[in-house]
């Protein structure tokens, strides 16, 4: 079955180009030209990926994303104006999975789209360990649900993958570049804050009851540890 992608962008010319690029790769696309229409599309059918423009009249991309995350965990690739760091960071904080600055080369777009689709396919198919546990946290890969002390914690798809990877490497240092290549499917570039924002979001959701902490190792990366060992460098 071909992948289902929704393009939400008020620029009809660019949207048509995106549709042409993606359909040439056997990816089925729907188009919405404003945030409200995009949200209605998402409520009517499931998508594998949303391409979401930030600068739109009416309900802008950030408000659209905020509303989308109330009812869907679908991966979102933001299309942002180059240099708009505030929008990128806020979008990631609101639950976007990655961003792509405009203008972009169509090959870069296709590579980013395929990387996101591939990693979410892998995450859904990976069955070597159905459940991961640490502290009071339980990740069930059959249901894609996370519980801390018996209470469900809502994660985006990308946050879920970050947490799973940190659990696989529990207690060990994981570099930013390793996280970027493994989870985002690309090498980290200078001034890229996406890893920091995803980790920050995870920290907010890892309640004290989890008995876990994500430690920053300055200049190196991150370690997921038990709070009982959190003073260990």
Query: What are the residue ranges spanned by the domains of the chain?
Result: 3-124, 127-226
E-only strand ranges, 45-190 = 49-53, 76-81, 98-102, 131-134, 137-140, 145-148, 151-153, 174-175
Report how far residue 202's alpha carbon sits from residue 42's, in angstroms, rounded to the nearest whole number. Answer: 25
Cα distance between residue 109 and residue 100, in whole Å:
8
CA-only gyration radius of the chain, Å: 18
Read off the pTM. 0.74
Burial zone of 150 (CB within 10 Å; 0-12 exposed, 13-18 middle, 19+ buried): exposed
Instruction: Give every strand in the sheet of 4-8, ordered side by side.
Output: 28-32, 4-8, 49-53, 76-81, 98-102
CA dihedral (92, 180, 127, 6) positive or negative: positive
For residue 229, the model assigns a pLDDT of 56
For the domain made up of 127-226, give the CATH fold.
Arc Repressor Mutant, subunit A (1.10.10)
Alpha carbon dihedral 145, 147, 150, 153, in 10-degree steps, equals -100
* CATH class of the domain whose range is 3-124: alpha beta
Tens-binned pLDDT, residue by residue, of the chain (233 aa): 689 999 999 999 999 999 999 999 999 999 999 999 999 999 999 999 999 999 998 999 999 999 999 999 899 999 987 666 778 888 899 989 998 988 888 888 998 898 888 877 755 555 455 888 998 999 998 888 899 999 999 998 899 999 999 999 999 999 999 999 888 888 887 778 889 999 999 999 988 888 999 999 988 899 999 986 545 44
């Amino acid at each position: 079955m071909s992948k289902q992608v929704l393009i939400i962008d008020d620029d009809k010319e660019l949207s048509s180009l995106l549709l042409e690029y993606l359909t040439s790769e056997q990816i089925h696309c729907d188009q919405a030209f404003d945030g409200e229409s995009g949200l209605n599309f998402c409520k009517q059918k499931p998508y594998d990926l949303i391409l979401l423009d930030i600068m739109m009249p009416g309900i802008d991309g950030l408000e659209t994303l905020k509303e989308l995350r109330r009812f869907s965990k679908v991966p979102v690739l933001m299309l942002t104006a180059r240099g708009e760091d505030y929008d990128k960071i806020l979008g990631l904080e609101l639950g976007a999975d990655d961003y792509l600055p405009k203008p972009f080369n169509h090959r870069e777009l296709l590579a980013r789209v395929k990387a996101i689709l591939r990693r979410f396919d892998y995450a859904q198919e990976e069955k070597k360990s159905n459940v991961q546990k640490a502290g009071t946290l339980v990740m069930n890969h059959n249901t894609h649900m996370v519980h801390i002390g018996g209470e469900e914690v809502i994660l985006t798809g990308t946050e879920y993958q970050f947490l799973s990877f940190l659990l696989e490497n529990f207690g060990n240092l994981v570099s930013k570049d390793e996280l970027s290549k493994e989870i985002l499917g690309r090498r980290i570039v200078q001034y890229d804050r996406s890893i920091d924002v995803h980790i920050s979001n995870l920290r907010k959701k890892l309640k004290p009851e989890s008995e876990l902490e994500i430690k920053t190792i300055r200049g190196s990366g991150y370690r997921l540890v038990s709070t009982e060992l959190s003073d260990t460098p």
